[in-house]
């Protein structure tokens, strides 16, 4: 039968399949700012779902800095960086980020998704090869697929397989890519060993520290500082919308790498520069990240308390020492039900299901923030223990 509505039938079918598999996604709608207590449809909830690990998303000093930035630079950047959108606010932030991370240069991107796309596509093409941990963030996988490089994935943390793949490769340029802190498991990549393999086989090492920057290492300098490694071979990417509490991302690396990105990274070149007021606010955020060590100390205390509080549960936390604490439930429907039951009791914890995580590994992804207090963790623990007994 001819249809005047395009292919809506097949979209409906695809949506129904997703729903039948308990994989349908729905957005929450907050009517408050991002904080430990959020409001949804006028109801208050204690939230364990944000990546605002240091509780900065709503910090008065950052709000003031955004206002000051707007007065000084206006709202929109008005053009891409290579035309006339690059301002002193962006430039100063790049210099500050390079100093902070200990790299010669840094380059700002609008988002982490775009930074990953930009680096991978600028450095790897048809004759090159990319080697990636299976649990890397989706943005890294998308970038690798678009780059047209040979794309090899190794099982999570399996460096034996990675070495075999590197040894067998005849590619011109080799790029090993890993999350530094894995976004759904919360574990830390063995970056020291990854770097040794990259040195042995002449490969670049790209690390995505979206969840380590601001959280790990002295003054929050990130996973590489935490592990004490440094190398001109490393291309470091971190985001500014998580622990830093604002928006954006950056890549820190050798000057040749940064210049290559300015010349060739399509997601840098063909897009409007982010509002300079954000870069202005990020200078303040970087100050807070660096100077307020108490936020990281508090996070560690909260992590320890959470592990203790959830010890008696039948569901187990994955081994993670970061603020990402996944509670493995297994079944998609069960994970969803548990998240719903928590919500009925005034607590928000997202259920994470395939394809974001492997089949059979559905989970509650509990994320902690230094905005939380010990009582909040105790309350989450008490409610989960009650649900465990009841189910
Ligand atoms: C969030 C995230 C990104 C994307 O960063 P955005 O700035 O949100 O686009 C990239 N990589 C990892 C590991 C992430 O968790």
Q: Is the pLDDT of residue 356 over 90?
A: no
From the CB of 208, is ligand 1 less than 6 Å away?
A: yes
- In whole angstroms, give the CA distance from residue 309 to residue 328: 15
* pLDDT digits 0-9 by tens, 263-310: 999 999 999 999 999 999 999 999 999 999 999 999 999 999 999 999
Element holding 147 (H helix, E strand)? helix 138-147
Q: Is the pLDDT of residue 54 over 90?
A: yes
From the CB of 209, is ligand 1 less than 6 Å away?
A: no
Give the domain ranges of the chain: 28-54+293-390, 60-291
From the CB of 104, is ligand 1 less than 6 Å away?
A: no
Active site (annotated) includes residue 59? no
Mean pLDDT of 178-194: 97
The Å distance, Cα 239 to ligand 1 centre, comes to: 6
Share of the chain above pLDDT 90, in %: 94
Mean pLDDT of 39-57: 96
Nearest to 304 by CA among 200, 220, 381, 208: 381
Give the pLDDT confidence score for residue 109 in this predicted structure: 98
Active site (annotated) includes residue 211? yes
Q: Quick one: pLDDT band at residue 3, thresholds 50, 70, 90? A: low
Mean pLDDT of 115-130: 98
Residues 6 or more apart whose Cβ sits within 8 Å of residue 15 = 24
Tell me the best of 34, 53, 112, 207 to mutate to test the pocket of ligand 1, counting ligand atoms within 8 Å of each CB and taking the most. Answer: 112
From the CB of 274, is ligand 1 less than 6 Å away?
A: no
Tell me the best of 183, 206, 245, 246 to mutate to test the pocket of ligand 1, counting ligand atoms within 8 Å of each CB and taking the most. Answer: 183
* Contact assessment for residue 134 and residue 361, using Cβ atoms and an 8 Å cutoff: no
Q: Is the pLDDT of residue 23 over 90?
A: no
Cα Rg of the chain (Å, integer): 22
**Residue 322 CB-half CA count within 13 A:** 30
Active site (annotated) includes residue 298? no
Q: Is the pLDDT of residue 25 over 90?
A: no
From the CB of 139, is ligand 1 less than 6 Å away?
A: yes
Nearest to 185 by CA among 47, 357, 340, 379: 357
Give the pLDDT confidence score for residue 186 in this predicted structure: 97
In the 8-state DSSP scheme, what is residue 96?
Answer: H
- What atom of ligand 1 comes closest to residue 137's alpha carbon? 13
From the CB of 137, is ligand 1 less than 6 Å away?
A: yes
The Å distance, Cα 376 to ligand 1 centre, comes to: 26
* Contact assessment for residue 391 and residue 336, using Cβ atoms and an 8 Å cutoff: no
Q: Is the pLDDT of residue 4 over 80?
A: no
Mean pLDDT of 250-259: 98
CATH number of 28-54+293-390: 3.90.1150.10
**Cis peptide bond upstream of 355, omega within 30:** yes
* pLDDT digits 0-9 by tens, 206-236: 999 999 999 999 999 999 999 999 999 999 9
Q: Quick one: pLDDT band at residue 24, thresholds 50, 70, 90? A: confident
**Cis peptide bond upstream of 215, omega within 30:** no
Give the pLDDT confidence score for residue 163 in this predicted structure: 98
The Å distance, Cα 33 to ligand 1 centre, comes to: 20
- What atom of ligand 1 comes closest to residue 248's alpha carbon? 7
The Å distance, Cα 3 to ligand 1 centre, comes to: 40
Element holding 154 (H helix, E strand)? strand 150-154
Q: Could you identify the residue written with the tokens 């962006």?
A: 90
Q: Is the pLDDT of residue 326 over 60?
A: yes
Q: Is the pLDDT of residue 347 over 80?
A: yes
* pLDDT digits 0-9 by tens, 71-90: 999 999 999 999 999 999 99
From the CB of 239, is ligand 1 less than 6 Å away?
A: yes
CATH class of 60-291: alpha beta
Q: Is the pLDDT of residue 1 over 60?
A: no
The Å distance, Cα 210 to ligand 1 centre, comes to: 6
From the CB of 50, is ligand 1 less than 6 Å away?
A: no
């Amino acid at each position: 039968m001819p249809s005047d509505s395009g292919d809506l039938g097949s979209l409906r079918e695809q949506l129904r399949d997703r729903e039948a598999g308990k994989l349908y996604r729905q957005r929450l709608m907050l009517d408050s700012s991002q904080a430990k207590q959020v409001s949804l449809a006028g109801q208050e909830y204690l939230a364990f779902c944000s990546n605002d690990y240091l509780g900065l998303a709503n910090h008065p000093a950052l709000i003031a800095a955004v206002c000051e930035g707007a007065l000084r630079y206006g709202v929109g950047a008005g053009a891409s960086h290579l035309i006339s959108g690059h301002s002193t606010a962006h430039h100063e932030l790049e210099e500050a980020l390079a100093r902070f991370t200990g790299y010669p240069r840094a380059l700002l991107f609008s988002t982490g998704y775009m930074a990953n796309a930009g680096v991978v596509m600028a450095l790897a093409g048809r004759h090159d090869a990319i080697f990636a941990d299976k649990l890397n963030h989706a943005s890294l996988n998308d970038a690798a697929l678009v780059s047209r490089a040979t794309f090899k994935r190794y099982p999570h943390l399996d460096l034996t397989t990675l070495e075999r793949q590197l040894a067998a490769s005849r590619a011109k340029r080799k790029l090993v890519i890993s999350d530094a802190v894995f976004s759904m498991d919360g574990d830390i990549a063995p970056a020291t060993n990854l770097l040794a393999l990259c040195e042995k086989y002449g490969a670049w090492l790209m690390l995505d520290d979206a969840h380590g920057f601001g959280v790990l290492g002295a003054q929050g300098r990130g996973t590489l500082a935490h592990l004490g490694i440094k190398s001109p071979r490393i291309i470091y990417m971190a985001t500014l919308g998580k622990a830093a509490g604002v928006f954006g991302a950056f890549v820190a690396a050798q000057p040749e790498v940064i210049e290559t990105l300015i010349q060739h990274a399509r997601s840098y070149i063909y897009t409007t520069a982010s509002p300079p007021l954000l870069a202005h606010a990020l200078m303040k955020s970087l100050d807070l990240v660096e100077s307020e060590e108490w936020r990281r100390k508090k996070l560690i205390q909260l992590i320890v308390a959470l592990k203790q509080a959830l010890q008696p549960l039948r569901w187990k936390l994955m081994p993670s020492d970061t603020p990402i604490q996944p509670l493995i439930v297994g079944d998609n429907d069960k994970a969803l039900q548990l998240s719903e039951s928590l919500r009925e009791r005034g607590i928000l914890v997202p259920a994470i299901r395939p394809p974001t995580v492997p089949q059979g590994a559905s989970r509650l992804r509990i994320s902690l923030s230094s905005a939380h207090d010990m009582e909040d963790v105790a309350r989450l623990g008490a409610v989960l223990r009650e649900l465990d007994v009841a189910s």
